[in-house]
Chain A
Amino acid sequence: MNSMIHRDSKFSIAFEQTKDKLFHHSNAFMYLFILHLIGYLFAFNSGISGFGSGDFLQFSYRSFSTTPLYVMTIFWMIFQGSSLAEEKNRQYYMVSNNFTAYFSDIAVLEIFALIGGVLTLFSGFFMQVYGTLFMENFVLHSVYGSMGVLHYLTLFITGTLYFLIFGTAAYFVGILRVRYKSRFILVAFVAAILLIVAGLLAVRVFGDSALFNIESLFRFYLDERSFFIWLIKVLLTIAGLYTVSYFGIKNMEVNR
């Protein structure tokens, strides 16, 4: 074993591993590019919200937004999170312990989220340029007039942190799957059945008021209007996911 590396601190090893993982995962950028192309396809081909015709006037109104790109980037983050966790199966680093592996994983995820945030932030401008050059009657929504630097900053921060949440959640689930293998599938199956049964029983007993939908889960974050409370909520969520995935990886055997 190379003793020179052993003299380095944990963090410098983790830093080296981060660089190495970024290089190893650089095909992820190709995936992002392809997914963004599909996102643009959706963004420019959806959103007919008014159409009608009379003898004088045939009118159709389409409104585009960058929402499909956000959805695609979220897919990409989930993909990357689970593939980073998957790698724990076949650990190829000679000098590595669970801490450095974990630390470099979350660093890579954060860098990916940052890249996704920047790209989706600027995709609005890109759509604007494309639309102005190649489309007739292309106008900007009047809301653009009242947008300031603060709104763009909000767009960047919220986008990045939401991507990070999805990425870490996928990483956590991937870690559980890698660690517990067949038991994970069994537990997931049992949990799904229990949830369905519990949901059916709850509706049976309590009526409609007990309905839990996935929207209300996101509303916890999306309906928050105060920036600092939102930030605390999101950071606590990410920290919680980090912690549980660290405990998942902590006692795991590597180099199996």
Chain B
Amino acid sequence: MISPIFLVINLVVVALIAIAGVFACKFIGQRVSKKLSVRLIALYTLALLLSPIMAGFIGQDVNERKDPIEVPPYHFEKVLEDYENLNLEDLQEDEFLHQLAVTEISGDANDFPKGSSLMIRSSQFAYNHLNNLIIEVTDAVDSIVITQFNQRFIVDNLDITQEFNSWDWTIKNQELRAEIPQTKIQFNNLSPSSLAFHFDKELSKSIQDSFNFGFIPYENTIQWIQIPEGMDFQHRGNGPWRIKD
């Protein structure tokens, strides 16, 4: 529901710009000589006529996939809840998840002096982010490996999960830490005028539907932490610790 005040303000802005346009036409248009205006429109027409060729050279490709993946909303939460029955391979094969990055903590950082152990503290993360961790103790790795998954985010047939920033994992003072960068994406989409589909019912429907891209996964990551067997680690703080042994 649009509030009436918002509507009135919008209308006033549109009216002001329209009045400004009329005045610009009156003041600029009448002072300019006929020759100049003809030349100007010729240049403009030339630029417009050349632009299809330019567009061909630049090569903006269109994603033509006919049946896009319908990602169920909150899929990653179901995966997180079901962590005990799942392996890393299952997540890699999941078509709704995208493996964003694999971070391997290098050798030296894995060695701790005797009697001390790796610390994972919940105070590092906001509560929501602790939710996204799965800790697995395994002998498949020699050092700590963090694999990051994101739920696929598809807008108008385009998978933009690749553009997400991954978490930056380090060990400092025997503590496993993550820097969490925010991904800022502004998506600019050019759609053709609906007049082109005047006699084409199906396409004119599809152009109207595309604006409901539905679920936007703002907190959609799964961080799968593999810790080599035999390494001591402690976890402190409250929160759902998902630990696979």
Residues of A within 8 A of B (CB): 23, 26-27, 29-36, 38, 41-42, 49-50, 52-67, 70, 72, 75, 79, 118-120, 122-129, 131-133, 135-147, 151-152, 154-155, 158-159, 162, 222, 224-227, 230
Q: Which residues of B contact A146 (CB under 8 A)?
A: 64, 203
**In the complex, what's the smallest C-beta–C-beta distance from A67 to chain B, in angstroms?**
6
How far in angstroms is the closest Cβ of chain A from B68? 9
* Contact (Cβ within 8 A) A155 B193: yes
Interface residues on B, range: 35 or more
Answer yes or no: B37 CB below 8 A from chain A CBs.
yes
Complex contact B185–A59 (CB within 8 A):
yes
Residue of A nearest to B24 (CB): A34
CB-based contact A57/B164 at 8 Å: yes
A118 to B65, CA, bound (A): 31
Q: Which one of A55, A56, A137 contacts B186 once the chains associate, using CB atoms below 8 Å?
A: A137
Distance of A222 Cα from B201 Cα, bound (Å) = 12
**Complex alpha-carbon distance, A218 and B49, angstroms:** 30
Instruction: Given A34-B25, A60-B187, A63-B210, output 13 extra A-B contacts at Cβ < 8 Å.
Output: A30-B37, A31-B25, A55-B126, A55-B218, A57-B164, A59-B216, A60-B186, A122-B51, A137-B187, A143-B203, A145-B62, A154-B200, A225-B201
A145 to chain B: which residues have CB within 8 Å?
62-64
Chain B residues in 8 Å Cβ range of A154: 195-200
What per-residue 1/0 map shows which CB atoms of B83-97 lie under 8 Å from chain A? 000000000000000
Residues of B near A137 (CB, < 8 A) are 163, 185-188
Residue of B28, B34, B198, B211 near A26 (CB, 8 A) is B34
A56, B44: Cβ atoms closer than 8 Å: no
Q: Mark B173-189, 1 if CB is under 8 A from A, else 0.
A: 00000001011111111
Q: Chain B residues with Cβ under 8 A from A56's Cβ?
A: 164, 180, 182-183, 218-221
User: Known contacts A65-B192, A124-B193, A137-B185: does B52 contact A143 (CB below 8 Å)?
Assistant: no
Task: Select A127's contact among B63, B157, B190, beta carbons within 8 Å.
Answer: B190
Check if A64 sits within 8 Å of B198, measured CB to CB: no
Task: Tell me which residues across on chain A come within 8 A of B193, comparing CB atoms.
Answer: 65-67, 70, 120, 124, 155, 159
Cβ-neighbour of B195 out of A35, A54, A59, A155 (below 8 A):
A155
Chain A nearest CB: distance from B206 CB in Å? 6
30 contacts between A and B (CB under 8 A): A30-B40, A34-B24, A34-B29, A56-B183, A56-B220, A57-B217, A58-B185, A61-B189, A62-B186, A62-B187, A65-B192, A65-B194, A79-B25, A122-B48, A128-B55, A131-B188, A137-B185, A138-B190, A139-B63, A139-B156, A139-B158, A140-B60, A141-B210, A142-B156, A142-B158, A143-B203, A143-B206, A154-B198, A155-B193, A224-B198
On whether the beta carbons of B54 and A129 are closer than 8 Å, the reply is yes
Select one of B29, B210, B219 contacting A31, CB under 8 A: B29
What is the minimal beta-carbon distance from B213 to any residue of chain A, in angstroms? 7
Which B37-84 residues sit within 8 Å CB-CB of chain A? 37-38, 40-41, 44-45, 47-49, 51-52, 54-55, 58, 60, 62-65
With contacts A27-B34, A139-B158 taken as known, whether A128 is within 8 angstroms of B190 at the C-beta atoms is yes
Q: A31-B25, A53-B218, A226-B199 are in contact. Are A129 and B190 (CB under 8 A)?
A: no
**Contact residues in A for B105 (Cβ distance below 8 Å):** none
- Residues B190 and A27 in contact, CB atoms below 8 Å apart: no
Question: Are B40 and A55 neighbours in the complex by a CB distance under 8 Å?
Answer: no
User: How far is it, in angstroms, between the C-alpha of A154 and the C-alpha of B194 when the chains are bound?
Assistant: 10
Tell me whether B60 and A132 are in contact (CB under 8 A). yes
* Interchain CA distance A50-B29 in the complex, whole Å: 38
Q: A126: nearest residue on chain B (CB-CB)? A: B51
Docked complex Cα distance between A55 and B180 (Å): 9
- How near does chain B come to A143, taking the closest CB pair, in angstroms? 5
The residue of chain A having its C-beta at the shortest distance from the C-beta of B57 within the complex is: A129
| Given A30-B29, A126-B51, residue A151 in contact with residue B197 (CB < 8 A) | yes
Determine whether the beta carbon of B34 is less than 8 Å from that of A55: no
User: Of A27, A41, A42, A67, which one neighbours B29 at CB under 8 angstroms?
Assistant: A27
From residue A80, how far is it (CB to closest CB) to chain B in Å? Answer: 11
Q: Is the CB of B198 within 8 A of A55?
A: no
Which among A55, A72, A142, A143 is the interface contact of B219 at CB below 8 angstroms?
Answer: A55
Report if A230-B55 is in contact (Cβ < 8 Å); known contacts: A60-B186, A64-B189.
no
Q: Across the interface, do A128 and B189 meet the contact criterion of CB distance under 8 Å?
A: no
A23 to B192, CA, bound (A): 34
Please name the residue on chain B nearest to A136 by beta carbon. Answer: B186
Give the CA-CA distance A59 to B129 in the complex, in Å. Answer: 19
Contacts of B51 in A (CB 8 A): 122, 125-126, 128-129
Min CB–CB distance A197 → chain B (angstroms):
26
